[in-house]
Amino acid sequence: MKDNIKLEDNLKLKNDFPPVKFEDWKNQAITDLKGADFNKKLLTDTYEQIKIKPIYTSDDIKDLKHISNLPGFVNYVRGSSVAGYLFKSWDIAQELPYTDTSEYNIALLDNLKRGQTAINIILNPASQFCSDTCSNNSMNFSNEGLAVSDYHSFEVIFRNIDISKYPLYIHCGFTSIPLLMMITAYADLNNIQMNTLSGAFEADPYNYLIKSGKLPVSLSRVFYDMKTSIQWADKNAPGIKVIGISGLAYNNAGCSTAQELAYILATSVDYINKLIDRGLTIDQIAPMIRITVGIGSNYFMEIAKLRSLRVLWSNIIDAYGGNDTSRKLTVHGRTSVYNKTVFDPHVNILRATTEALSAVVGGIDSLHTGSFDETYSVPDEFSRRIARNTQIILKEETHLDRLIDPAGGSYFVEKLTEELASNAWKEFQKIEEFGGMLKALQDNYPQKEIDSVVGLKNKDLRKRKKVIVGINMYSNSKENRPVLKADFKPDKSQKHKDKSVQIKSTRDQNKVNKAIKEFKDFQNLNDPSVIEAGARALSAGAEIAEIYKASPKYSSEAVSIETLHFHRAADQFESLKYASLQLEEMLGRKPSVFLANMGVLKQYKARADFARSFFEVAMFNVISSKGFNTAGEAAEALLNENAEFVVVCSSDDKYPGTVPELAAEIKKLKPGVKIILAGYPVDQIQMYKDAGVDEFIYLGCDAYDILSRLIESISGRTF
């Protein structure tokens, strides 16, 4: 028996594993590339104009100013708390996109019992507009958010819920005054002390503006409302923030990460300046702000975004002379809708999971993870559960609430944080040169800049350099048509109107009229006491719309801009899928492609697999074949198939002796069939075109352009 191996008392691992120098690694990489350009192959350009290197070292971070910062200390790159999530975890703040208050209450109770830790309410446009839900105005109703009209709405929404136990976030639209009146009335009638509540009643007029195109009141009114709400909250509800600044609209329009940061910061500066002009100080304003960001699927970029945002915010508040508390930032995250899909929707679960992970690692304060079916349906109990439990798993099983800035110290993340912050700051400075965010929006600058980035993204998607799994690559051709939700549901609208009519029929109208008159006599809307005056009218039975009509309006014109172009990245390719499904209804089958595989397996397999994947993107039926020895065999096999397109698959060497003859046979037997060649032999393209080849498919081709032309050729539909 051999002696047992015994380790030395003092291990000298450095001798056995000497460190490799970066230059040695790079030289070896260049050798392995066999002549290919190192920079083109291994450096990646981002839409933020940052070059991502394949490897980072300590040299990349040695000059970074923020690298020695500790958690909880300015400039807060590592988070606002010295203990990270150890003492206070992030809020699981799920949106519940139900219009009806009773449905909302049922879903909210279910979520709160099963792990949701904050109440997060999105209002529908009518409620943000303070519209009369019983009129015939086109603003009346929408399924995009919760419909509230009076304090009775809160009675239903919060039934059997102690709102003092949960942070309460409400996205109010262009002003938070009406919702502050409502919560005050609700609190008074339910013996709740306002100073026990926490959360945010967010007014974000620019966000309202870029989504609707117009503010219904003057800017002067908006910012005096904002000042009033700050003064009222500071005195009566110090746990509630009243200003929201959201980058979601830009994110869901397809902007770059640097653009989203820049536009958030520029909006912040606009709001701060307007409020300082109205007599408030930076230390009154900054703590009242809560920022919302969209969380996309570029994992490390999203981590860097949150870290960069805290640094830039801290620097801006410092420039105003704000104290350390004001330099701390509260950030809410929402998983992006821009990269979500209607087709193959369960992949959205994976997307939301990586997005939630990056948000938590980046130090988010509260988070909504979207349900996998949010692009086409109101979530049911199952999809709500999956979305909610995504965060709970990150907390309870992954234990991310026990870590402090887990990305801190990473050479890559630290360098990316610095580069992203620098590029976002440059874009912010451009906005300031315009005269601020509002002026830039009126001049259409952000809209054009975002469209420019979206153009680059769409180009990469069409050429499949950028992949959306299940959409432009790895598509499920056997997927059924998704069932889309209706944009408008009259039954829900009528139900809400009926409730309003019922409440009005039972209220004491004289009492309501008196309360509204007393509110109307309270002419100074800039006095924070106006919120109590409005609350008294609501408690008497008045609706928000009635109080809004009784409010004096400022005479200056409302602001209007060109709205952003909201869409999803998958829209283009999903339009091809829908067109293919429509053809199936018309023809009784999907468009079909016959793979004319020529030669032996090793000659055609790679291109046959590529062709199958290519056409399944548009949900074509792909008919495969064995390898044919002659053009005649392939053409004869095609006669037995009901196919509009033929793809010739083989090697470049075999094509010259095969393609011209095969094309001639096909055109003779089936003149209407389009012939497609898998590959792009540059020196012979014209020869193959002359022989009858209609299209070429290859790595880097514009898949959307080719597939749309092929669908047009048999449907007559123009994309």
pLDDT of residue 515: 81
pLDDT of residue 631: 92
Assess whether 224 and 274 both reside in one domain. yes
Assess whether 21 and 129 both reside in one domain. no
Q: How do residues 502-524 score in pLDDT, each as one tens digit?
A: 566 567 688 888 888 888 777 66
Percent of the chain with pLDDT over 90: 77
Residue 66 lies in a domain: no
Assess whether 45 and 110 both reside in one domain. no
Q: How do residues 400-442 score in pLDDT, each as one tens digit?
A: 999 999 999 999 999 999 999 999 999 999 999 999 999 999 9
pLDDT of residue 487: 43
> Buried b vs exposed e over 405-423: b needs ≥16 C-beta within 10 Å?
bbbbebbbbbbbbbbbbeb
Assess whether 347 and 438 both reside in one domain. yes
Residue 393 lies in a domain: yes
Assess whether 168 and 317 both reside in one domain. yes
Q: Which of 462, 495, 527 is the last residue of a domain?
A: 462
Peptide linkage before 75 cis (omega within 30 of 0) = yes
Q: Which of 443, 462, 481 is the last residue of a domain?
A: 462
Residue 75 lies in a domain: no
pLDDT of residue 397: 96
Residue 287 lies in a domain: yes
- How many domains does one find in the chain? 3
Residue 568 lies in a domain: no
Stretch 604-608: mean pLDDT: 96
Assess whether 47 and 96 both reside in one domain. no
Percent of the chain with pLDDT over 70: 92
Residue 558 lies in a domain: no
d(CA 534, CA 547): 7
pLDDT of residue 113: 97
pLDDT of residue 139: 45
Distances in Å between the Cα of 568 and the Cα atoms of 249, 256, 600 are: 12, 14, 42
pLDDT of residue 125: 86
Q: How do residues 659-703 score in pLDDT, each as one tens digit?
A: 999 999 999 999 989 999 999 999 999 999 999 999 999 999 999
Assess whether 139 and 210 both reside in one domain. yes
pLDDT of residue 51: 96
| Phi, psi (deg, nearest 5) at residue 628 | -90, 145
- pLDDT of 332 > 70? The answer is yes
Comparing 258-262, 313-317, 530-534, the range with the smallest average pLDDT is 530-534
If residue 337 lies in a helix (H) or strand (E), which one and from where to where? Answer: none
Domain, as residue range, for 160: 91-462
Assess whether 179 and 36 both reside in one domain. no
The residue with greater pLDDT, 316 or 216, is 316
Residue corresponding to tokens 């749309």: 708
Stretch 193-215: mean pLDDT: 96
- Take residue 352 and report the two structure tokens written for it: 């939301």
Assess whether 53 and 169 both reside in one domain. no
- pLDDT of 488 > 50? The answer is no
- pLDDT of 140 > 50? The answer is no
CATH of the domain at 443: 3.20.20.240
**Intra-chain end-to-end CA distance of the chain, in Å:** 78
Provide the β-strand partners of residue 45: 51
pLDDT of residue 486: 47
The residue with greater pLDDT, 13 or 442, is 442
Q: How do residues 274-312 score in pLDDT, each as one tens digit?
A: 999 999 999 999 999 999 999 999 999 999 999 999 999
CATH of the domain at 703: 3.40.50.280
d(CA 435, CA 433): 5
Stretch 170-188: mean pLDDT: 95
∠ at Cα 109 (105, 111), nearest 5°? 115
pLDDT of residue 517: 83
Assess whether 112 and 45 both reside in one domain. no
Assess whether 22 and 122 both reside in one domain. no
Task: Using CB atoms within 10 Å of the CB of residue 21, give its burial: 0 to 12 exposed, 13 to 18 middle, 19+ buried.
Answer: exposed
Assess whether 451 and 365 both reside in one domain. yes
The residue with greater pLDDT, 499 or 360, is 360
Q: How do residues 26-53 score in pLDDT, each as one tens digit?
A: 999 999 999 899 999 999 999 999 999 9
pLDDT of residue 525: 62
Residue 146 lies in a domain: yes
Q: How do residues 629-670 score in pLDDT, each as one tens digit?
A: 999 999 999 988 989 999 999 999 999 999 999 999 999 999
> Other C-beta atoms within 10 Å of 10: how many?
5
Q: How do residues 141-164 score in pLDDT, each as one tens digit?
A: 445 789 898 888 999 999 999 999
- The whole-model pTM stands at 0.93
Residue 395 lies in a domain: yes
Whole-number mean pLDDT of the chain? 91
